[in-house]
A = this chain, B = another copy of it.
Amino acid sequence: MADSDESSARVTVRTITDLARLAGVSPGTVSRALAGKSLVNTRTREKIEALAREHGFRPNQMASGLRRQKTGVIGVVIPLGHDIRQQISDSFFMTLLGHLADELTTHGYDLMLRRVVPESDPDWLDRFIGSGMIDGVIVIGQSDQFERIEDVADGYRSMVVWGNHTEGQRHCVVGTDNRLGGRMAAERLIAAGARRLAFLGDTGPMEFAARFAGAQDVAARMGLPAILPLSTHLSPDRASAEIAQHLAEHGRNIDGIFAATDTLAALCLTELRAQGLAVPDDVKLAGFDDLPIARQTVPPLTTVRQDIAAGARGLVDLLLRRLAGEATESFVLPPELVVRETA
Protein backbone atom coordinates (compact mmCIF):
# COMPACT_ATOMS: atom_id res chain seq x y z
CA MET A 1 0.00 0.00 0.00
CA ALA A 2 3.06 2.21 -0.21
CA ASP A 3 3.15 5.63 1.31
CA SER A 4 -0.07 7.11 0.03
CA ASP A 5 -1.86 8.68 2.90
CA GLU A 6 -5.29 8.05 1.49
CA SER A 7 -7.33 4.90 1.46
CA SER A 8 -6.81 4.91 -2.27
CA ALA A 9 -7.07 1.20 -2.54
CA ARG A 10 -9.52 0.37 -5.27
CA VAL A 11 -9.92 3.53 -7.32
CA THR A 12 -9.41 3.25 -11.03
CA VAL A 13 -6.93 5.83 -12.12
CA ARG A 14 -6.95 6.16 -15.85
CA THR A 15 -6.22 9.80 -16.35
CA ILE A 16 -3.85 12.32 -15.00
CA THR A 17 -6.85 14.01 -13.46
CA ASP A 18 -7.77 10.91 -11.49
CA LEU A 19 -4.26 10.79 -10.17
CA ALA A 20 -4.31 14.49 -9.36
CA ARG A 21 -7.45 14.07 -7.30
CA LEU A 22 -5.84 11.23 -5.39
CA ALA A 23 -2.70 13.16 -4.73
CA GLY A 24 -4.60 16.27 -3.82
CA VAL A 25 -2.92 18.38 -6.47
CA SER A 26 -3.84 19.73 -9.87
CA PRO A 27 -3.53 17.83 -13.13
CA GLY A 28 -0.89 20.25 -14.26
CA THR A 29 1.34 19.34 -11.38
CA VAL A 30 0.93 15.66 -12.03
CA SER A 31 1.83 16.21 -15.64
CA ARG A 32 4.95 18.12 -14.67
CA ALA A 33 5.96 15.58 -12.05
CA LEU A 34 5.60 12.63 -14.37
CA ALA A 35 7.39 14.40 -17.18
CA GLY A 36 10.31 14.99 -14.88
CA LYS A 37 10.01 18.73 -15.22
CA SER A 38 12.22 20.82 -13.02
CA LEU A 39 9.93 22.94 -10.93
CA VAL A 40 8.13 20.45 -8.77
CA ASN A 41 8.57 20.02 -5.06
CA THR A 42 10.48 16.85 -4.38
CA ARG A 43 7.94 15.64 -1.85
CA THR A 44 5.08 16.28 -4.22
CA ARG A 45 6.86 14.51 -7.00
CA GLU A 46 7.63 11.48 -4.90
CA LYS A 47 4.08 11.23 -3.73
CA ILE A 48 2.78 11.41 -7.28
CA GLU A 49 5.28 8.89 -8.53
CA ALA A 50 4.40 6.49 -5.75
CA LEU A 51 0.72 6.81 -6.51
CA ALA A 52 1.32 6.33 -10.20
CA ARG A 53 3.29 3.20 -9.56
CA GLU A 54 0.78 1.86 -7.11
CA HIS A 55 -2.03 2.19 -9.59
CA GLY A 56 -0.07 1.24 -12.63
CA PHE A 57 -0.90 4.54 -14.22
CA ARG A 58 0.64 5.57 -17.53
CA PRO A 59 -0.23 8.74 -19.37
CA ASN A 60 -2.12 8.35 -22.61
CA GLN A 61 0.33 8.84 -25.42
CA MET A 62 -2.30 9.74 -27.94
CA ALA A 63 -3.41 12.68 -25.86
CA SER A 64 0.11 13.71 -25.07
CA GLY A 65 1.07 13.36 -28.69
CA LEU A 66 -1.83 15.42 -29.86
CA ARG A 67 -1.07 18.18 -27.48
CA ARG A 68 2.67 18.29 -28.03
CA GLN A 69 2.47 17.73 -31.73
CA LYS A 70 4.89 14.89 -31.57
CA THR A 71 4.27 11.23 -31.15
CA GLY A 72 7.51 9.54 -30.27
CA VAL A 73 6.92 7.16 -33.14
CA ILE A 74 9.02 6.70 -36.24
CA GLY A 75 7.40 5.15 -39.27
CA VAL A 76 9.24 2.48 -41.17
CA VAL A 77 7.79 1.77 -44.57
CA ILE A 78 8.71 -0.93 -47.03
CA PRO A 79 7.51 -0.25 -50.53
CA LEU A 80 6.98 -3.49 -52.36
CA GLY A 81 7.59 -3.50 -56.05
CA HIS A 82 6.15 -5.91 -58.54
CA ASP A 83 7.73 -8.80 -56.80
CA ILE A 84 5.39 -8.40 -53.89
CA ARG A 85 5.35 -11.55 -51.92
CA GLN A 86 8.76 -12.40 -50.66
CA GLN A 87 10.41 -9.06 -50.28
CA ILE A 88 9.27 -8.39 -46.77
CA SER A 89 10.55 -11.64 -45.47
CA ASP A 90 13.72 -11.18 -47.37
CA SER A 91 16.48 -11.73 -44.87
CA PHE A 92 18.24 -8.54 -45.67
CA PHE A 93 15.31 -6.23 -45.04
CA MET A 94 14.28 -8.16 -42.00
CA THR A 95 17.71 -7.96 -40.49
CA LEU A 96 17.82 -4.25 -41.17
CA LEU A 97 14.41 -3.91 -39.56
CA GLY A 98 15.59 -5.74 -36.47
CA HIS A 99 18.52 -3.41 -36.08
CA LEU A 100 16.29 -0.40 -36.66
CA ALA A 101 13.99 -1.57 -33.90
CA ASP A 102 16.99 -1.83 -31.60
CA GLU A 103 18.33 1.51 -32.52
CA LEU A 104 15.05 3.40 -32.32
CA THR A 105 14.21 1.82 -28.99
CA THR A 106 17.55 2.94 -27.67
CA HIS A 107 16.66 6.49 -28.58
CA GLY A 108 13.23 6.28 -27.00
CA TYR A 109 11.20 5.97 -30.15
CA ASP A 110 8.63 3.43 -31.10
CA LEU A 111 8.50 1.92 -34.53
CA MET A 112 5.45 1.80 -36.71
CA LEU A 113 5.83 -0.64 -39.55
CA ARG A 114 3.92 -0.38 -42.77
CA ARG A 115 4.15 -2.40 -45.94
CA VAL A 116 2.82 -0.68 -49.01
CA VAL A 117 2.22 -1.60 -52.59
CA PRO A 118 2.86 1.64 -54.48
CA GLU A 119 1.31 0.27 -57.59
CA SER A 120 -2.09 0.00 -55.99
CA ASP A 121 -1.63 2.97 -53.68
CA PRO A 122 0.32 5.72 -55.41
CA ASP A 123 -0.24 7.96 -52.44
CA TRP A 124 1.55 5.65 -50.02
CA LEU A 125 4.21 8.00 -48.75
CA ASP A 126 2.11 11.12 -48.24
CA ARG A 127 -0.52 9.09 -46.52
CA PHE A 128 1.90 7.75 -44.02
CA ILE A 129 3.50 11.10 -43.37
CA GLY A 130 0.17 12.90 -43.24
CA SER A 131 -1.37 10.46 -40.80
CA GLY A 132 -0.19 12.47 -37.86
CA MET A 133 0.96 9.29 -36.21
CA ILE A 134 4.66 9.59 -36.83
CA ASP A 135 7.38 12.10 -36.20
CA GLY A 136 9.48 10.93 -39.09
CA VAL A 137 9.80 8.16 -41.60
CA ILE A 138 12.43 5.70 -42.70
CA VAL A 139 11.86 4.26 -46.14
CA ILE A 140 13.45 0.88 -46.64
CA GLY A 141 14.39 0.48 -50.26
CA GLN A 142 13.63 2.82 -53.09
CA SER A 143 12.02 0.07 -55.10
CA ASP A 144 10.83 1.76 -58.28
CA GLN A 145 9.68 4.83 -56.36
CA PHE A 146 12.70 7.04 -56.71
CA GLU A 147 10.80 9.95 -58.22
CA ARG A 148 7.98 9.88 -55.74
CA ILE A 149 10.45 9.91 -52.89
CA GLU A 150 12.28 12.80 -54.47
CA ASP A 151 9.05 14.75 -54.75
CA VAL A 152 8.18 14.21 -51.14
CA ALA A 153 11.67 15.07 -49.97
CA ASP A 154 11.24 18.61 -51.24
CA GLY A 155 8.47 19.34 -48.80
CA TYR A 156 9.23 17.07 -45.89
CA ARG A 157 12.45 17.00 -44.00
CA SER A 158 11.84 14.17 -41.56
CA MET A 159 12.66 11.36 -43.92
CA VAL A 160 15.64 9.13 -44.50
CA VAL A 161 15.85 6.39 -47.06
CA TRP A 162 17.77 3.16 -47.27
CA GLY A 163 18.94 2.70 -50.80
CA ASN A 164 21.30 3.69 -53.50
CA HIS A 165 22.95 7.08 -53.72
CA THR A 166 22.73 8.90 -57.01
CA GLU A 167 24.60 12.04 -57.84
CA GLY A 168 22.50 15.10 -57.14
CA GLN A 169 19.52 13.41 -55.56
CA ARG A 170 17.45 15.40 -53.12
CA HIS A 171 16.48 12.82 -50.54
CA CYS A 172 18.79 11.82 -47.75
CA VAL A 173 19.90 8.26 -48.24
CA VAL A 174 21.93 5.69 -46.38
CA GLY A 175 23.26 2.69 -48.20
CA THR A 176 26.18 0.71 -49.42
CA ASP A 177 28.18 1.82 -52.40
CA ASN A 178 26.62 -0.77 -54.64
CA ARG A 179 28.58 0.12 -57.71
CA LEU A 180 31.84 -0.27 -55.88
CA GLY A 181 30.58 -3.53 -54.43
CA GLY A 182 29.74 -4.72 -57.92
CA ARG A 183 33.24 -3.89 -59.02
CA MET A 184 34.72 -5.83 -56.13
CA ALA A 185 32.66 -8.89 -56.94
CA ALA A 186 33.57 -8.83 -60.61
CA GLU A 187 37.23 -8.27 -59.88
CA ARG A 188 37.24 -11.22 -57.56
CA LEU A 189 35.52 -13.49 -60.07
CA ILE A 190 38.04 -12.50 -62.68
CA ALA A 191 40.96 -12.90 -60.32
CA ALA A 192 39.68 -16.40 -59.65
CA GLY A 193 39.88 -17.12 -63.35
CA ALA A 194 36.44 -16.31 -64.72
CA ARG A 195 36.15 -14.59 -68.08
CA ARG A 196 32.59 -15.02 -69.27
CA LEU A 197 30.50 -13.42 -66.55
CA ALA A 198 26.80 -13.36 -65.84
CA PHE A 199 24.76 -11.24 -63.45
CA LEU A 200 22.00 -13.06 -61.67
CA GLY A 201 19.00 -11.00 -60.56
CA ASP A 202 16.54 -8.33 -61.56
CA THR A 203 18.37 -5.20 -62.68
CA GLY A 204 15.29 -3.06 -62.15
CA PRO A 205 15.77 -1.93 -58.55
CA MET A 206 18.40 0.77 -58.28
CA GLU A 207 20.60 -1.10 -55.87
CA PHE A 208 20.83 -4.07 -58.16
CA ALA A 209 21.28 -1.92 -61.23
CA ALA A 210 24.25 -0.28 -59.55
CA ARG A 211 25.78 -3.62 -58.65
CA PHE A 212 25.39 -4.74 -62.23
CA ALA A 213 26.86 -1.50 -63.52
CA GLY A 214 29.88 -1.88 -61.24
CA ALA A 215 30.54 -5.35 -62.58
CA GLN A 216 30.17 -4.05 -66.13
CA ASP A 217 32.71 -1.33 -65.40
CA VAL A 218 35.26 -3.99 -64.60
CA ALA A 219 34.43 -6.24 -67.52
CA ALA A 220 34.76 -3.31 -69.90
CA ARG A 221 38.00 -2.14 -68.38
CA MET A 222 39.46 -5.62 -68.65
CA GLY A 223 38.30 -6.05 -72.21
CA LEU A 224 36.03 -8.95 -71.36
CA PRO A 225 32.76 -9.66 -73.14
CA ALA A 226 29.64 -7.91 -71.86
CA ILE A 227 28.11 -9.39 -68.74
CA LEU A 228 25.09 -11.55 -69.39
CA PRO A 229 22.09 -10.44 -67.34
CA LEU A 230 20.01 -13.33 -66.03
CA SER A 231 16.83 -11.91 -64.61
CA THR A 232 14.98 -13.53 -61.72
CA HIS A 233 12.34 -12.78 -59.17
CA LEU A 234 13.28 -12.51 -55.55
CA SER A 235 11.01 -15.13 -54.07
CA PRO A 236 12.83 -18.43 -53.65
CA ASP A 237 10.21 -20.55 -55.35
CA ARG A 238 10.14 -18.63 -58.56
CA ALA A 239 13.81 -17.83 -58.50
CA SER A 240 14.85 -21.47 -58.28
CA ALA A 241 12.96 -22.40 -61.39
CA GLU A 242 14.22 -19.37 -63.24
CA ILE A 243 17.79 -20.05 -62.26
CA ALA A 244 17.52 -23.66 -63.38
CA GLN A 245 16.21 -22.41 -66.70
CA HIS A 246 18.99 -19.88 -67.11
CA LEU A 247 21.66 -22.42 -66.27
CA ALA A 248 20.27 -24.97 -68.65
CA GLU A 249 20.45 -22.37 -71.37
CA HIS A 250 23.70 -20.60 -70.60
CA GLY A 251 25.42 -22.66 -67.93
CA ARG A 252 28.08 -24.07 -70.24
CA ASN A 253 28.89 -20.69 -71.74
CA ILE A 254 29.71 -18.85 -68.56
CA ASP A 255 32.35 -19.38 -65.93
CA GLY A 256 31.51 -16.70 -63.40
CA ILE A 257 28.24 -15.61 -61.81
CA PHE A 258 27.69 -12.50 -59.76
CA ALA A 259 24.43 -12.90 -57.88
CA ALA A 260 22.58 -9.78 -56.79
CA THR A 261 22.08 -11.18 -53.29
CA ASP A 262 23.34 -14.03 -51.16
CA THR A 263 19.90 -15.54 -51.20
CA LEU A 264 20.04 -15.84 -54.96
CA ALA A 265 23.60 -17.06 -54.80
CA ALA A 266 22.66 -19.84 -52.41
CA LEU A 267 19.81 -20.88 -54.64
CA CYS A 268 22.12 -20.76 -57.61
CA LEU A 269 24.62 -22.96 -55.85
CA THR A 270 21.97 -25.60 -55.41
CA GLU A 271 20.98 -25.44 -59.05
CA LEU A 272 24.57 -25.52 -60.24
CA ARG A 273 25.10 -28.68 -58.28
CA ALA A 274 21.91 -30.15 -59.68
CA GLN A 275 23.16 -29.49 -63.17
CA GLY A 276 26.55 -31.00 -62.52
CA LEU A 277 28.50 -27.77 -62.61
CA ALA A 278 31.29 -27.65 -60.02
CA VAL A 279 31.89 -24.55 -57.95
CA PRO A 280 34.40 -22.99 -58.15
CA ASP A 281 36.05 -25.27 -60.70
CA ASP A 282 33.58 -24.93 -63.56
CA VAL A 283 31.88 -21.76 -62.41
CA LYS A 284 32.97 -19.11 -59.93
CA LEU A 285 30.22 -17.55 -57.87
CA ALA A 286 29.94 -14.38 -55.81
CA GLY A 287 27.03 -13.05 -53.81
CA PHE A 288 26.14 -9.80 -52.09
CA ASP A 289 25.15 -8.93 -48.49
CA ASP A 290 27.05 -11.47 -46.42
CA LEU A 291 23.98 -12.80 -44.72
CA PRO A 292 24.47 -15.64 -42.26
CA ILE A 293 23.65 -18.10 -45.00
CA ALA A 294 26.78 -17.14 -46.87
CA ARG A 295 28.91 -19.02 -44.38
CA GLN A 296 26.80 -22.08 -44.40
CA THR A 297 26.54 -22.96 -48.03
CA VAL A 298 28.76 -25.70 -49.39
CA PRO A 299 31.22 -24.44 -50.36
CA PRO A 300 30.86 -21.24 -48.35
CA LEU A 301 30.09 -18.20 -50.41
CA THR A 302 32.43 -15.48 -51.51
CA THR A 303 30.43 -12.32 -51.17
CA VAL A 304 30.37 -8.58 -50.72
CA ARG A 305 29.50 -7.60 -47.21
CA GLN A 306 27.08 -4.82 -46.31
CA ASP A 307 27.30 -3.64 -42.73
CA ILE A 308 23.62 -3.78 -41.86
CA ALA A 309 24.00 -2.73 -38.25
CA ALA A 310 26.00 0.31 -39.26
CA GLY A 311 23.35 1.07 -41.84
CA ALA A 312 20.61 1.00 -39.22
CA ARG A 313 22.63 3.21 -36.93
CA GLY A 314 23.21 5.61 -39.78
CA LEU A 315 19.55 5.78 -40.69
CA VAL A 316 18.43 6.51 -37.17
CA ASP A 317 21.24 8.92 -36.49
CA LEU A 318 20.54 10.96 -39.60
CA LEU A 319 16.82 10.96 -39.03
CA LEU A 320 17.16 12.19 -35.46
CA ARG A 321 19.47 14.91 -36.63
CA ARG A 322 16.98 15.98 -39.22
CA LEU A 323 14.23 16.01 -36.63
CA ALA A 324 16.45 18.30 -34.63
CA GLY A 325 16.67 20.62 -37.60
CA GLU A 326 20.18 19.84 -38.71
CA ALA A 327 21.08 19.60 -42.35
CA THR A 328 22.46 16.17 -43.21
CA GLU A 329 24.42 14.59 -45.98
CA SER A 330 23.69 11.17 -47.34
CA PHE A 331 25.78 8.41 -45.87
CA VAL A 332 27.44 5.87 -48.11
CA LEU A 333 28.78 2.73 -46.50
CA PRO A 334 31.82 0.99 -47.90
CA PRO A 335 31.26 -2.57 -49.06
CA GLU A 336 33.78 -5.20 -48.11
CA LEU A 337 34.82 -8.22 -50.10
CA VAL A 338 34.65 -11.46 -48.15
CA VAL A 339 36.54 -14.19 -49.89
CA ARG A 340 35.42 -17.70 -49.07
CA GLU A 341 35.44 -20.65 -51.37
CA THR A 342 33.16 -20.04 -54.33
CA ALA A 343 35.46 -17.57 -56.04
Contact = CB atoms under 8 A, between A and B. Distances in A.
Interface of A: 56-63, 65-66, 71, 73, 88-89, 91, 94-95, 97-99, 101-102, 105, 110-115, 126-127, 130-133, 236, 263, 266-267, 269-270, 273, 292-293, 295-298
Contact of A132 (B61, B91, B95, B101): B61
Given A61-B133, A62-B133, A131-B61, A105 B115 contact: yes
21 contacts: A58-B126, A60-B66, A61-B131, A61-B133, A63-B66, A63-B132, A88-B98, A88-B101, A89-B99, A91-B94, A94-B97, A97-B113, A101-B114, A101-B115, A110-B113, A111-B112, A112-B112, A112-B113, A263-B292, A267-B296, A270-B296
Given A62-B132, A132-B63, A296-B267, A98 B89 contact: yes
Contacts of A66: 60, 62-63, 66
List the number of copies, as a whole number: 2
Contacts of A269: 296
Given A105-B115, A114-B111, A292-B236, A58 B94 contact: no
Contacts of A105: 114-115
Contacts of A127: 58
A301 to B, nearest CB: 11
A130 B58 contact: yes
